[in-house]
Amino acid sequence: MSKWTKEQFIEDMRNKCSREIAKIGERIIEFSDTHASEVTWGRGEDHGTFTFRSDSDVGMLPLFHMTSDGQMNFQINFLREKELPKQVMRDLIVKMEANFLRDYDFESYPADVYEEMEYLFHTYSQVDKFIGAIEGCVYRLKQ
């Protein structure tokens, strides 16, 4: 049973993060409420966690995690292991690389790690592009 709720998570994020990062987090949560097959909240003590999950042919898959202290974990390597259709992975990776101006290949991104949102999102258009990438991935996974 989860300890955290949406309201607790947002309140904690507002207390721990800058106003801009908290607004970005809220925008991502709003998007998740309508597009995720399942949203799960964590059980941790120090900070809240939130996971966006999407239904697929191989079951429920986490696409990303976010913490209430302003970190995100993209599940790119986890998804690679699930042997999803190549076009799904290619589309997601190309969009993520273009949006965040970094490589998500095996060498440059060998493990899924938590990254500070303040270093990922510099503009609100990056948030919209990230959301678009996740929305496209969800759509393709449900085909």
Helices vs. strands in the chain: H and E counts, helices first: 6, 5
Range 94-102, long-range pairs (CB < 8 A, 24+ positions): 95/129, 95/132, 95/133, 95/136, 96/130, 96/133, 98/129, 99/126, 99/129, 99/130, 99/133, 100/126
Q: What is the pLDDT of residue 142?
A: 84
What are 85's two structure tokens? 């259709």
For the chain, give percent helix, strand, coil, nearest 5: 50, 15, 35
High-pLDDT (> 70) share of the chain, %:
99
Q: Which of 87, 83, 65 is nearest to 139 (CA)?
A: 87
Can you tell me the distance from the alpha carbon of 75 to that of 4, in angstroms, rounded to the nearest whole number?
Answer: 21
Model confidence pLDDT, tens digit, residues 5-16: 999 999 999 999
Can you tell me the distance from the alpha carbon of 71 to that of 80, in angstroms, rounded to the nearest whole number?
Answer: 21
Question: What is the rounded average pLDDT of the residues 105-126?
Answer: 94
Model confidence pLDDT, tens digit, residues 29-80: 999 999 999 999 999 889 999 999 999 988 999 999 999 999 999 999 999 9
Can you tell me the distance from the alpha carbon of 118 to that of 111, in angstroms, rounded to the nearest whole number?
Answer: 20
